[in-house]
A and B are shown apart, each in its own frame.
Chain A
Amino acid sequence: MRVTMKELTTQMETQLDNSYSDLSNVQNELSTGKRLLKPSDNPVDTANDIKLKTQLAEETQYHTNIQDGINFMNVSDTAMQSMETIMQRLRELAVEGSSDTLSASDRTNMQPEVDQLFRQLVSLTNTQYNGAYVFGGTQNNIEPFPVLSSTAASPADYTGLKMAYFDGSGGVNIPAQIKNGFDNSSITNILPGSFKLSIGNVNYVEGTDYTVNYVNGTITPLNAALAANMSPGTPNYAAGALKMTFDYVSKGKDVFGNTVGNNGNVMREIANGVTSPINISGDQLTVNSQTGTDMMSTMIAFEQNLLNNNTQGINTAISQIDNVNQAVSNSQTQNGARINRFTTTLTQNENQNTQTTGLISNLEDADMADAATKFSLMNTVYDAALKSASMTMQHSLADYL
């Protein structure tokens, strides 16, 4: 067979090209440590790789969500723990206060401590996690149980009715409801000891001139002079005449009519398609759903009974505190169960994550031992091709003539 120089050269070039490109592929694999660099390297594996990467991104996100949820619930848990401790102390005080051996002044002297404990309870219901009020439902940018002050309002505040007022037209011994000037809603849960009333320059004395029902937010004038002065003018009183100062625990709406707190669920997605609420709503926390006992009114009634030396009322407070405590403790149990669930899911998530990472690595990463072996083999082949080419090309008949 006739073999020409041209044929030999072309063949050598093709073969050298082939070995060199094989060599370069393996070299790429070795230097990047990756088996998949282009979709054409392995189309099926590339498609799977893309899906797995998304899965990994999701799992990583679920991990963040779960961790965040656990942190949120841990904050709630700590708050509820403290509330239970405070309520233990309040119960002790109620038991002590109901004792017949105590005098009226002893009971009155107990009120400031109860008030401080109650204010602590309220501030715990306004616990925040990362700027969100944990017991505020989905309306969690505003305190769910704000302690609002209606301070001595100036005549300018009559505009827009943004102050507390009452319609005192009823006369002596007829209660008048204190209302929110913004939307005419009733004000309740006034903190005992915080209430002051003056008309003109005259300070009226609670118990002598009027009485206040702190829970309902009603005022009863006890003498005709006050009753007359409390009669409405423009808009309700002679401008600048009446001043009312008090603190109250608001629920539902603040002075400007903003909604505070709701029973909405704050959700976290903790696994593909699995969402779970992480919050305890304000109602769930503060109201015993079976007996309907409310934490705020219970405590305020307790304080008022201490001030009024009402042993019967203080006695009632013991069972009411138990009821309220039950609500908090139920909430804490539910919260704890959710923490457990999240923790378990977190472990599953981490296992899953490890597995997915492993799968991606299997698809993407080069088998270094295999690649290195291939590399040295191809290196040898390339070397042999070069050597044989150079040796063949050197010779021609001309050398021997």
Chain B
Amino acid sequence: MSLFSVLNVATSGLSASQLGMDVSGQNIANADVDGYSRKRLNSSADYRTDGTYGQMGIGVDVINIQRMRDGFIDDQIRQQGQQVGYYTQVNQTYQNLQGVFTEPSNTGLQQYMDQFFDSWQNLANNPSDTAARTMVKTDGEVLCTTFNNLATQLSNARSGMNDQISQDADKVNQLTKDIFNLNSEIASAQLSGQNANDSLDKRDQDMTQLAGLIDFTSQENSQGEVTISTGGSIIVSPAYQQNLETTTSTYKAADGTTITDVGLRFADSKITYTPQSGEIRGFIDSRDQVIPEYQKQLDALANTMVSKVNAVHETGYDLNGVSGNDFFDPTTTGASDIKLSPTIESNVQNIAAAAGGQTLVAPAQNLVMTFGQQPPANLGNTNINQNSVIVKAGNTTLTEGTDYQVNYQTGDIQLLHAGYNGTPLTATYTYTAGSSQGVGDNANALAIAQLRESMTMDSDTLGNPTSTFDENYASMIGRLGEETNEATSNLNSRTSLVTQYQNQQDAVAGVSLDEEMANLVQLQHTYEANARVVTTAGTMLDSLIAMVTT
């Protein structure tokens, strides 16, 4: 045992303190860096075995610099992170939809439907007034434009999802490339017995980001390399990385426009890939489920509006006494292309406000019918009113269905009872004359206005409509609100879970400045003490040398 060995012990102490300062300094410097894990210097007492004294300390041995991180919590964060990514996008879509429909307000579809039906009531009050007719046309156009705008906004929102999916696929590829490179860095460091702490931090962070985009499972091997697989395929392994690539598929929408959608597949295996969760799945679900659902409902509303209004409008008479005109263009396929019919566009006189159809009483007619005669006899008028026909033989009233039968539409009457063959009969009936009743006739305008309160939508199992236009729309908006709330609360609960896990991770991996400060003070003192040991040993050596020289 020599005096010099003390110097060695002190020197190891000095360098250990310096190393400790380095680690604390690094921790402090990276205290607010995302994904940084706190490092700790692990050291132990170094010793040798002395023949006389047994184990003798020969200084301090630095074992390694340890990265403080809980891998289990990282797994939890990634699992919830996928859900956060998914619900962030779905929630965003619902928020956008709420923006598109702008309800409740005075500029939403509901307002314009009301205006449209109000204008029919106004027309009913002034059926011959050109201003009232123009208002029906204008309000009809505004309603159509509102439908068109909603449809355009919905389809834009939908197609916007495709760009997002492509962009996210690029992000996934960038991340998997990074992870692949980091894998080899980590492996080579580990092989040479060194730590790869910062690469591990970087990789952990990349994997957390990846979890926001897609769902995946990961496995780490003994060299510290991870294998990541998703949708049954490996995208990163120690020896391999494969990209996602986009594919396009086209189909024709109801209104005839071609829609191009973006899909994903694995670049090498060409297997189609659909993530189960994460941001990309959020975009896909928004595009394929959320938005189409509202497009479908809006189309149904527009189509029913067209068919119901047209059905009533066709039966009415316009100012020129013409019947059978459509109000909306009957070729309408949905909200995107609903418009007024060219007839109405060209002239407001063609709006059918009048119902026509005056009931007239026919004078008593003398009939002589032959049993089984073909073609049958005719009453002389068409559109006979049901149950209005009375046929008499002298004072005996014949029974309809037993003695004779009438085709109400054509006015054909046929003898069913052979006993009246050739008997003189008299027939009385009323019929509907199919002509206009004049410009003051407002019955058809009223009938169209009353469609607002009629059951027109949402047929039950028997095919009977159960709700009005307005109720249908209100329940659609109500559902939008409910679904938005659901998406938001899902997002909030997942986000708070992630925050909670993040806090737990921060408690382990985060840098505590106070702790580092205390370490620094401690290390400073250790360093000073070690230096003092060297000085003391030096003095002792001086004394020894002086002793020899004198």
- Residues of chain A having any CB pair with chain B under 8 Å: 1-7, 9-11, 14, 36-44, 46-51, 53-54, 57-58, 60-61, 64-65, 68, 130-132, 136-141, 259, 262, 264, 266-269, 272-273, 275, 279, 364, 396-398, 401
Contact = CB atoms under 8 A, between A and B. Distances in A.
B441 A264 contact: yes
A103 B519 CA distance: 142
A10 B453 contact: no
Contacts of B98: 38-40
Given A39-B101, A269-B450, A132 B481 contact: no
Contacts of B474: 46-48, 50-51, 54
Given A6-B506, A7-B506, A43-B482, 10 more contacts: A7-B507, A14-B499, A37-B104, A38-B484, A44-B478, A47-B477, A267-B124, A267-B443, A275-B446, A397-B513
Q: Is the interface of B mostly helix, strand, loop or mixed?
A: helix
A397 B101 CA distance: 55
Contacts of A36: 104
Contacts of B452: 54, 58
Contacts of A401: 517, 521
Given A47-B477, A275-B446, A364 B514 contact: no
B168 interface: no
B324 to A, nearest CB: 20
* Best-surrounded residue of B118, B440, B508, B511 (most CB of chain A within 10 A): B440
Contacts of A14: 499
B440 A137 contact: yes
Contacts of B507: 1-4, 7
B479 interface: yes
8 contacts: A6-B506, A10-B503, A46-B477, A46-B481, A53-B114, A61-B449, A137-B437, A269-B450
B122 A64 contact: yes
A398 B513 contact: yes
A298 B517 CA distance: 121
A248 B31 CA distance: 108
A337 B80 CA distance: 73
Contacts, number: 194
B110 interface: yes
A38 B121 CA distance: 31
Nearest to B441: A138
B244 to A, nearest CB: 31
A222 B292 CA distance: 90
A112 B421 CA distance: 64
Contacts of B450: 269, 273
Interface residues of B, number: 65
Contacts of A40: 94, 98, 480-482, 484-485, 488
Contacts of B110: 50, 53-54
B481 A5 contact: no
A360 to B, nearest CB: 9
A270 B147 CA distance: 29
* Best-surrounded residue of A9, A39, A53, A138 (most CB of chain B within 10 A): A39
Contacts of A64: 121-122, 125
* Best-surrounded residue of A9, A137, A364, A397 (most CB of chain B within 10 A): A397
B366 interface: no
Given A10-B506, A46-B478, A53-B104, A269 B121 contact: yes
A65 B125 contact: yes
Nearest to A141: B439
Contacts of B441: 138, 264, 266
Interface string B429-448: 00000000111111100100
B440 A57 contact: no
A300 B478 CA distance: 69
A39 B103 contact: yes
Contact of B511 (A1, A4, A11, A136): A4
Nearest to A13: B499
Interface in B346-363: 354, 358
B409 interface: no
B42 interface: no
A39 B440 contact: no
A5 B438 contact: no
B128 interface: yes
